[in-house]
Amino acid sequence: MLWPDGEIHINHKITAPFDTWRIEELALECSLVLVGLDNFKIKDYPGYENKRGSGSRSDEPFPLGECRTFIFKPMVVQVGPASTSYEMMMTAPQPPHVDNNADECMRIFGDYLNHVEATFGSADCDVHHSVCEALRVGYERYMGGGFGRESSGYIGVLYELHHLSILRSQRLRNMRLVLDQQQW
């Protein structure tokens, strides 16, 4: 749904099999930046009907189940006055985290994230080995971080790492676009 302020709200089921649709990554490919993630509330969308949309039962409602509202804004390219340089701007704050694992993720993977440029800038680096080793060491750090931890808690930390990786990739793509535009 397109909102008057330019926000794009996408209401999407997050249960299987819909949880594999990679909504955030698909949006980035379309130059959209995630600015919010909320639990879906049907009352926020007057007139919304959960219809199937196609097929022989297209007018029948489907069970909503657990849904989220993904809120996006377009990435904006802004040209400075009397300047040939371009600046990529994100028009909104960074997306909020559903799971609050940021501190734990940085404790476990901070060295890996800070070392990634030196590691992957090297031509003789075995990327597969480096990533697998970082995940193994990360698991050991997580399990050693407190008594009674279960391996299932590590999954939340990995989701946070994935989120940080998407943000880093987005930032690097933006920087590349800026550099490409400056060369013109």
pTM, whole model, 2 decimals?
0.41
For 168, the token pair is 């880093």
pLDDT digits (tens), the chain, 184 positions:
666 677 888 888 888 888 888 888 888 778 788 888 888 888 887 777 777 777 788 777 777 788 888 888 887 654 444 443 333 333 434 444 445 566 777 777 776 666 655 555 555 566 667 777 778 888 888 888 878 888 888 888 888 888 878 887 888 888 888 777 777 6
**Do 134 and 109 meet the contact criterion of CB atoms below 8 Å apart?**
yes
Q: Are strands 76-79 and 86-89 parallel, antiparallel or unpaired?
A: antiparallel
**Do 60 and 51 meet the contact criterion of CB atoms below 8 Å apart?**
yes
Q: What are phi and psi of 75, to 5 degrees?
A: -70, 145
State which H helix or E strand residue 86 sits in: strand 86-89
